Amino acid sequence: MTGHDHHHHHDHEHSELSETELRVRALETILTEKGYIDPAALGLLIDTYETKVGPRNGARVVARAWTDPAFRARLLKDGSPAIAELGYAGRQGEHIVVVENTPRLHNMVVCTLCSCYPWPVLGLPPVWYKSAPYRSKAVKDPRGVLQDFGFGLPEGIEIRVWDSTAEIRYLVLPMRPAGTDGWSEERLEALVTRDSMIGTGLPKQPHEIA
Amino acid sequence: MEGAHDMGGVPWSGPVVPEPNEPMFHAEWERRAFAITLAMGMPGGWNIDMSRFARENRPPQEYLGMSYYQIWLAGLERLMLERGLIAADEIAAGKPLHPTKPVARTLTPDDVAKVLHRGGPTEREATRPALFAVGDRVRTKMMDPPTHTRLPRYVRDHVGTVEMLHGVHVFPDSNSLGNESPQWLYTVTFDGRELWGPDGDASVKTSVDAWESYLEPASDAG
């Protein structure tokens, strides 16, 4: 999709919006009146994923791994139980595998078939993660994807792409930025971006946070 | 099935365009569509592979012409229509017109936290040893079932290396038809040039998670 097409696509979505909106309202009315859904439960589901579950959870996992070698070892050996130690578990995170970046290896996670993503640690996926460009390009031209995100990796670094085709969910453990010796876990968390845990970004550098 | 959802390596996609400070939802109807879809899983009784098939099994123009949550809605409507939970004339009228079909359970506010926490683990007890071991060279089958599958087109009929064993997991191809038939699940890793030819990036390795019946021993091992 070119930039022009991208805008065109959004215009298209806006023109369809009212029709879609009416359809969703119709469905919610029908399903509520039939007793299949409870609007109070819908409110809790929305609140959970809009305000409680998100990439700050993953940032806590990463910062803990950066500061606690025993936790890091457990995390890399079996992701979900280690992550559950911090209270994050459940739907779309039942079988999490954590993959570690090194000076020679950069990991990137995609779901070419749909939108599989580790909800308990990253929340719901962003639109670009679910888009045709990312789903098609990540497995064939991950360096091009990184350029789309505005950075490149030096030659000689191997890129390892994980296509989430089963119920295994992958979380990237990025490298701890230099110049953070002695930092507290809480301070380190602020360096961990969502994209650094997908592999389309790197953690912030110390000078980028106040 | 072959479909527009199977996007790995397709040439027509263009650049990835991240949205700065992206909100979790872009419209109120997306919030509602998301929550209705999750909540209907319990009374509906379908599984994740049935949901995926209901979303992806549509003509490419239709799939590509819808936004993400429009696809979710279309999938949900299909699942409910197939089971007689709603009827097309009810959607058109925006209100119930037919008697309610009894369902086993609905999602109550008290259920939400524990249902999300429990999730839907797909690992099952092994009843036979794994056919392949880490390091084995395997070839993915050339297959194109008309039904749901999780072996993407771009890795079919290619040789890769088993990198991980994940235990025995529910098999999506049969689960979408109502039968778990669990199988050993492997991470299989492919070199860039194996997948994309001599112009492929030799510094890239790509893996998929593949069930045992997607794989056979590679005859050109080594």
Instruction: State the complex-level ipTM.
Output: 0.97
- At A69, which amino acid appears? P
**Cα–Cα nearest to B168, from B186, B155, B150:** B186
CA of B139 vs chain A CAs: smallest distance (Å):
17
The answer as to whether A45 is a domain residue is no
The answer as to whether A33 is a domain residue is yes
The answer as to whether A13 is a domain residue is yes
The answer as to whether A48 is a domain residue is no
Distances (CA, A) of A193 to A73, A96, A198, B222: 22, 19, 9, 40
- Per the CB < 8 A criterion, the answer to whether A32 and A98 are in contact is no
Taking only the tens place, the pLDDT of each residue in B175-222 is 999 999 999 999 999 999 999 999 899 999 999 999 999 999 997 544
Is residue A183 domain-shared with residue A148, that is, in the same domain? yes
Residue of chain A whose Cα is closest to the Cα of B31: A46
Alpha carbon distance B122, B119 (integer Å): 10
Pairing of strands A105-110, A158-163: parallel
Q: Kindly compute the dihedral angle of the four CA atoms of residues B158, B162, B168, B173, in this order, to the nearest 10 degrees.
A: -10
Is residue A58 domain-shared with residue A28, that is, in the same domain? no
Residue of chain B whose Cα is closest to the Cα of A51: B24
Is residue A100 domain-shared with residue A151, that is, in the same domain? yes
Of B10, B22, B34, the CB nearest to A136: B10
Half-sphere exposure at residue A78, Cβ-oriented, CA atoms within 13 angstroms: 7
Is residue A21 domain-shared with residue A65, that is, in the same domain? no
Structural domain for A78, as ranges = 54-208
Residues of chain B contacting A97 with CB distance shorter than 8 Å:
164
Is residue A102 domain-shared with residue A158, that is, in the same domain? yes
Is residue A75 domain-shared with residue A27, that is, in the same domain? no
Mean of the pLDDT values across residues B106-115? 96
**Cα–Cα nearest to A169, from A120, A91, A106, A117:** A117
Is residue A172 domain-shared with residue A72, that is, in the same domain? yes
Q: Give me the residues of chain A with pLDDT under 70, please.
A: 1-17, 210
- Per the CB < 8 A criterion, the answer to whether B140 and B126 are in contact is no
Decide: helix, strand or coil at residue A146: helix
Preferred mutation among B161, B209, B211 to probe A, highest tally of A CBs within 10 A: B209
CB contact under 8 A, B117 and A94: no
Taking only the tens place, the pLDDT of each residue in B37-85 is 999 999 999 999 999 999 999 999 999 999 999 999 999 999 999 999 9
Half-sphere exposure at residue B40, Cβ-oriented, CA atoms within 13 angstroms: 28
Preferred mutation among B16, B71, B105 to probe A, highest tally of A CBs within 10 A: B16
Domain CATH number, residue A144: 3.90.330.10
The answer as to whether A76 is a domain residue is yes
Assign 3-state DSSP to chain A and report helix, strand, coil percentages, each to 5: 50, 10, 35
Taking only the tens place, the pLDDT of each residue in A122-162 is 999 999 999 999 999 999 999 999 999 998 998 899 999 99
Strand-pairing partners, residue B190, are B206
CA of B220 vs chain A CAs: smallest distance (Å):
24
In this prediction, residue B11 carries a pLDDT of 86
Is residue A94 domain-shared with residue A198, that is, in the same domain? yes
> What residue ranges define each of the domains in chain B, with the CATH number in brackets?
28-118 (1.10.472.20), 123-217 (2.30.30.50)
- Per the CB < 8 A criterion, the answer to whether B16 and B7 are in contact is no
**Residue among A15, A18, A116, A196 flagged as catalytic:** A116
**Cα–Cα nearest to A96, from A57, A69, A66, A127:** A57
More confident site: B31 or A4: B31
**Cα–Cα nearest to B202, from B188, B212, B191:** B191
The answer as to whether A69 is a domain residue is yes
What is the phi/psi pair of residue B187, to 5°? Answer: -90, 125
Is residue A18 domain-shared with residue A111, that is, in the same domain? no
**A13 touches B at CB < 8 Å:** yes
**A35 touches B at CB < 8 Å:** yes
The answer as to whether A44 is a domain residue is no
The answer as to whether A43 is a domain residue is no
CA of B200 vs chain A CAs: smallest distance (Å):
7
Is residue A166 domain-shared with residue A88, that is, in the same domain? yes
- Per the CB < 8 A criterion, the answer to whether A2 and B14 are in contact is yes
- Is A136 in the active site? no
Is residue A21 domain-shared with residue A112, that is, in the same domain? no
The two structure tokens encoding residue B90: 């009810």
**Domain count along chain A:** 2
In this prediction, residue A6 carries a pLDDT of 43
Is residue A120 domain-shared with residue A196, that is, in the same domain? yes
Residues of chain B contacting A95 with CB distance shorter than 8 Å:
121-123, 166
Consecutive H or E run containing A26: helix A3-33
Of A37, A90, A126, the CB nearest to B118: A90
Decide: helix, strand or coil at residue A163: strand
CA of A184 vs chain B CAs: smallest distance (Å):
26
**A165 touches B at CB < 8 Å:** yes
